[in-house]
């Protein structure tokens, strides 16, 4: 049973560019959340998708957007990249609606903005 898979694993972008990161949740999971983890920090919640809708959002600007597809996979898009967007982007999946279910993380996508 594949866990949460993310792509690409590493990428380098230039300031001002746009990036799309992809996530396939664990089999049977219908809820996908995205987190940003800067070096030396804990992950920070960006947003959560359930039934193809953004259900909850953290304190991130509108440059960060996402999408969830009918097969529950998800994309994270970041526009107008800034140097400060360099981080590990983590996708997490779970079964909803019961909070307290185990949340599984992917290995992340390392984004470097130069």
107 binds other proteins (CB under 8 A): yes
Token readout for 54 is: 């953004």
- Of 11, 20, 30, 50, the one binding other proteins (CB under 8 A) is 50
Q: Looking at beta carbons only, is 14 or 39 nearer to other proteins? A: 39
Residue 4-43 contact track with other proteins, rule CB under 8 A, x = bound: x--------------------------x-x-x----xxxx
Cβ of residue 67: shortest distance to other proteins, in angstroms? Answer: 18
Taking the alpha carbons of 42, 94, 6, 12 in that order, is the dihedral positive or negative?
negative
Query: Using an 8 Å Cβ cutoff, are 105 and 37 in contact?
Result: no
What's the min distance (Å) between Cβ of 80 and other proteins? Answer: 25
Q: How far is residue 49's CA from residue 54's CA, in Å, rounded to a whole number?
A: 5
Alpha-carbon separation of residue 54 from 57, 66, 67, 72 (angstroms): 7, 8, 8, 12
Least distance to other proteins, CB of residue 95, Å: 9
């Amino acid at each position: 049973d594949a866990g949460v898979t993310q792509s690409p694993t590493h990428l380098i972008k230039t300031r001002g560019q746009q990036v799309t990161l992809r996530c396939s949740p664990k089999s049977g999971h219908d809820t996908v959340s995205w987190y940003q983890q800067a070096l030396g920090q804990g992950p920070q919640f960006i947003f959560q998708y359930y039934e193809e809708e953004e259900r909850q959002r953290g304190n991130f600007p509108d440059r960060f957007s996402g999408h969830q597809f009918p097969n529950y996979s998800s994309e994270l898009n970041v526009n107008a990249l800034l140097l400060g967007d360099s981080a590990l982007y983590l996708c997490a999946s779970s079964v909803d609606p019961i909070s307290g279910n185990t949340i599984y993380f992917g290995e992340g996508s390392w984004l470097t903005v130069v």
